[in-house]
Structure 1
């Protein structure tokens, strides 16, 4: 991009010079030289701004990168405590490397507008409430409340929000202690996904 920008700059610069020389007959007077010099300086300033704008837009395109992940729980999880992260421990995709399957936390590699979706699946009789948080701050919640033993139920929610680079996003259990989640490798009922919709340059 830098090489093409220089060539573009030089081409327009010489066009400006030729236009100036064709404007009047060449004069050796100091006043005419000064006027032409002032004109060229203004043209150079304009062309410099054009090149900077082109390079800025090219840099933005170079910075953009895809970010997306889906994680799930690969075996029934029990004894999940209050304020404990839901243990999405297996990764189906992790484009951009933002999700940590050991901590169950997504850390934004770039700032932007993200779409997050999470699913919890309860297989006991206890009510379960979970929430999506950004740096510990609640965004949206989901609830399951099976009415009888053996009655499975899923809770789902989504959010489209701005997350800045370095901020952490995860799903946490709250309201009740000692919760169980039904999910395994064959039936991936509990999942957590996120995708970068639009990068924001800050």
Structure 2
């Protein structure tokens, strides 16, 4: 019975455990430490969540930046941007945090991920960069 419940109520939370620097545009962020993965729908090797059932899902992502660069990330569903978030440091010793959230409808088999957007000199910091999602209904 536990396996059926996990698939009916998929939820995940993942963290980036190493800083990523000089990322290109539309590069998928692969969150490598999984805190929760009910239903095993988040894959660390691809950075993608695959919906096991159709429904409305909540996704939240946050990211950290240290320094004076500008960083933009976006939430993507099957290759289409859903929203984005950005931060811009003004001095070299700043710690900044950005992020966004969305409730979106997914069909079974749809993929959702976080990727870089807009700029080619993207930096994201470890442990303050997270991605989470859960089926609401």
TM-score, L = length of structure 2: 0.91
- Which structure would you say has the larger Rg? 1
Runs of 5+ unmatched residues, structure 2? none
Confirm whether residue 135 of structure 1 aligns to residue 74 of structure 2: no
Confirm whether residue 190 of structure 1 aligns to residue 129 of structure 2: yes
Residue 124 of structure 1 and its aligned partner are, at CA, apart by 3.0
The structure that is helix-richer by fraction is: 1
- Give the alignment's Cα RMSD to 1 decimal: 1.8
**Contact 1:115 / 1:160 at 8 angstroms: preserved in 2?**
yes
Runs of 5+ unmatched residues, structure 1? 1-60
Partners of 2:91 and 2:30 lie apart in 1 by 25
Residue 168 of structure 1 and its aligned partner are, at CA, apart by 0.5
- Counterparts of 1:56-135 in structure 2, within 5 Å, are 65-135=8-78
Which of structures 1 and 2 has the larger relative contact order (alpha carbons within 8 angstroms, sep 6+)? Answer: 2
Partners of 2:121 and 2:54 lie apart in 1 by 35
Deviation string 1:41-65 (CA, Å, 9 cap, x unpaired) is xxxxxxxxxxxxxxxxxxxx98x71
Residue 159 of structure 1 and its aligned partner are, at CA, apart by 0.3
Confirm whether residue 147 of structure 1 aligns to residue 90 of structure 2: yes
The structure that is strand-richer by fraction is: 2
- Runs of at least 4 residues of structure 1 off by over 4 A? none
Partners of 2:18 and 2:73 lie apart in 1 by 19
SS in 2 for 1:131: strand
Number of aligned positions between the proteins: 134
